[in-house]
Chain A
Amino acid sequence: MRSQPFRKILIANRGEIACRILRTLKTSGVASVAIHHAVEDRSPHVGQADEAVEIFGDTPVAAHLDVEQIVAAAQGAGADAIHPGYGFLSENARFAAAVEAAGLVFVGPDAETIALMGDKISARNFARAQGVPVAPSVTPTGDLSSFLAAAETIGFPLLIKAAAGGGGKGMSVVRSASELRSAARIAASEAERYFGDGRIYAETYVERPRHIEVQIAGDGDGQALHLYERECSVQRRFQKIIEEAPAAALAPALRDDICAAAARLASAAHYRNLGTVEFIVAADGRFFFLEMNTRLQVEHPVTEMITGLDLVRLQLEIAAGFGLAGVPRPLPRRGHAIECRVCAEDPERDFLPETGTLAVLEIPSAPWLRFENALAPGQRIGTEFDPMLAKLVVHGDTREQAVERALQALDQLALLGVRTNIDYLARVLDHPGFRAGELHTGFLQEHAAALQPKALDAAATDAAVIAAALGFRNFRNVVFDVPEPYASIGAWRN
């Protein structure tokens, strides 16, 4: 192991997470290399990096998934390590192996651990062997009829998932034996289509489950710590939109059990670097291992806000061979943090992705606020990348204060030109069930009607109509067709 700080790091990513990593590289005095496809050569991450290398591909995403090209870019730039961020190649074992084979350091776990945890079935078997609770399940044999028979013995409801899956693809809830056969067929064909691996498995479906995950850090030699939990129960289409730390209204003994199970798993895996162990938590306090993410999470800032840690810096320290010395023990836990994912999507139309051009960007500022983004006015928001535009992260002394601050920040945030979920996020935070911490992964569906936009009273609607009308040139031309009133109602521009 090297035990020597890095001089130059290539960031194999883009968008807000590339900018986030760049920030830590700058404060740590490490030189940075960005990569970019031609469509993003004016993106903020390119301008903020010390160097930038163009990558090529049929599509921008294909370029960001090109292992050989990215490793060659790092070598060509003289980088000594690659930080993969999240998404793209961050959980690709072949990439991690190729980086190490090229004599560079991969900022993350080794390829074997990524492969072990990347397969849901091997990950579950490993967790079960370490005494971490796993939901009763059926592993497929490739034979549909024996799979169906075994699935029936677990009982209903069942959750069917792709073995290689993620992001909700190939996932469905089956409530009776009569639905099982067709659901299994559909899941297998979706799994084949999205992941090139048609294996599926079925497990006990927990009603109204909470999604609670634990941030862990390991030194690769069997020492591992947990850095507390995050609650990620507020999801649409099986994807998180609001995360918080600590989890709301979680019994302290249960929290300790969950966190200890995660640290035990990481320690047994001789886990190196940061990772996240995800659990499903039932209303009765049972909890089950869901999966392990072998990378930095999108929602890592909420952990940073309550612990004061810089998790990217910790990743670099571990990768450089300094172990877990950067984690104070006991690790402080201060207040409450909430992250809202601002997405280009239309909540009123089933969260369909939206496109447009960012005409106006107004970001609120406060010492308790982080707005993680890579946005610039004039930027085109297309569909070539993920619809997440930015993350609004706030901290408060209490959960109530954090909710109020998030609402205040969302109110001040203006991101005009593409439809976003900003107003929807505010309605979720303001919902009595959210405020009470009565969360589960079906929260948004359960309260769908209450989360619709509220009708405005006539005066509020009329105020918006007047404000809009005065912004239209045709209307102003008629208002001002006599000169006198110009002076009487003040200065007009535009």
Chain B
Amino acid sequence: MGFTLHLDGAAHEIEILARRPHLRLRVDGRDYEITSAGEEDDGRQHVEIDAKPHRFVRAHVGNRQILRMQGRTFEAELLDPRDAARAGGTDLGCLRAPIPCSVVEVHKRPGEAVTRGETLVTIESMKLQIALLAPRDGTLAKAPRSAGETFEKDAIVAELEPLPKA
């Protein structure tokens, strides 16, 4: 059974090859043996991959996981194969609020044609104005009605019409 794990937004395929005598996994076509894994007395995690030990710190935030490992911070999400089967196209038509914000100006209206890089909406947060740009060419499907409308972080502020299926 295969899993897809998103690490900082990039998809990686994991397969379980064997469980005994040690766990063996295939990640994007490369095979690894995991000889030990768990939590240490100081609360840090460890995992030994091909006899090489790694120590790291882990936090669960909602259904995401954040790891601090190898001097870097990673965000990971595991796609349940059942969800993956349902999932359709991409999110490329959605403009989400990068931070909690309010709308300063709406530059385009639903139904208007937009080109990639064009400013669709200007938002403001903590006295900082941010332009939300069209991620691709297309037609605007949804936009805030007026200035002053507020959005939570990650809420969809504007959306393009889906691309026709190829």
List A residues at the B interface (Cβ < 8 Å).
169, 194, 346, 349, 352-357, 359-360, 362, 383, 410-411, 414, 416-417, 419-420, 422-423, 426, 453, 456, 458-472, 474-475, 478-479, 482, 484-485, 488-494
Contacts and interface: CB of A to CB of B under 8 A. Distances in A.
User: For chain B, what secondary structure do more than half of its interface residues adopt (helix, strand, loop), or is it mixed?
Assistant: strand
B104 interface: no
Contacts of A417: 59, 61, 66
Interface in B18-67: 19-23, 25, 27-28, 30, 32, 34-39, 43-45, 47, 49, 52, 54, 56-61, 65-67
A179 to B, nearest CB: 20
Contacts of A466: 14, 25, 27, 32, 34, 47, 49
A484 B45 contact: no
Interface in B117-154: 125-128, 130, 153
B12 A478 contact: no
Contacts of B14: 465-466, 469, 475
Nearest to A345: B99
B125 A490 contact: no
B23 A468 contact: no
A309 to B, nearest CB: 33
B163 interface: no
Given A423-B71, A464-B67, A471 B58 contact: yes
Given A478-B1, A489-B36, A467 B54 contact: yes
Interface in B76-99: 76, 78, 80, 98-99
Given A465-B12, A471-B58, 7 more contacts: A346-B98, A410-B71, A423-B72, A456-B70, A463-B70, A467-B67, A468-B78
Contact of B66 (A416, A472, A484, A491): A416
Interface of B: 1, 3, 5, 7, 12, 14, 16, 19-23, 25, 27-28, 30, 32, 34-39, 43-45, 47, 49, 52, 54, 56-61, 65-74, 76, 78, 80, 98-100, 125-128, 130, 153
- 4 nearest CB pairs, A to B: A468-B76, A416-B59, A359-B59, A360-B59
15 contacts: A169-B127, A352-B99, A352-B130, A353-B126, A357-B61, A359-B60, A416-B61, A419-B73, A453-B72, A462-B28, A471-B65, A472-B76, A472-B78, A475-B14, A488-B22
A468 B125 contact: no
Nearest to B74: A464
A463 B54 contact: yes
A214 B153 CA distance: 40
B155 to A, nearest CB: 13
Contact of B38 (A414, A465, A475, A493): A493
A468 B38 contact: no
A362 B130 CA distance: 33
Contacts of A470: 34, 37, 47
Contacts of B28: 458, 462
A484 B19 contact: yes
A469 B20 contact: no
B5 A465 contact: yes
A428 to B, nearest CB: 13
Contacts, number: 168
Nearest to A353: B99
A169 B35 CA distance: 55
Contact of A469 (B44, B69, B78): B78
A471 B60 contact: yes
A85 to B, nearest CB: 20
A383 B66 contact: no
Nearest to B72: A423
A463 B70 CA distance: 9
Given A194-B127, A353-B126, A484-B20, A467 B47 contact: yes
A61 to B, nearest CB: 10
Given A464-B7, A465-B14, A471-B65, A485 B60 contact: no
Given A353-B125, A355-B100, A464-B70, A485 B19 contact: yes
Given A426-B71, A464-B74, A469-B14, A383 B32 contact: no
Contacts of A354: 99
Given A416-B73, A462-B28, A383 B65 contact: no
Contacts of B54: 463, 467
A485 B69 CA distance: 26
Contacts of B32: 462, 466
Given A423-B71, A464-B69, A416 B57 contact: yes
Contacts of A194: 127
A474 B63 CA distance: 11
Contacts of B52: 463
Given A352-B130, A462-B27, A489 B34 contact: yes
A479 B16 contact: yes
A70 B78 CA distance: 50
Contacts of A485: 19-20, 22-23
A492 B72 CA distance: 24
Nearest to A384: B126
A76 to B, nearest CB: 32
Given A422-B73, A458-B28, A472-B65, A360 B57 contact: yes
B27 A491 contact: no
B57 to A, nearest CB: 4
Contacts of A352: 98-99, 128, 130
Contacts of A353: 99, 125-126, 128
A354 B80 CA distance: 27
Contacts of B37: 470, 489-490, 492
A70 B152 CA distance: 32
A431 to B, nearest CB: 15
Contacts of A423: 71-73
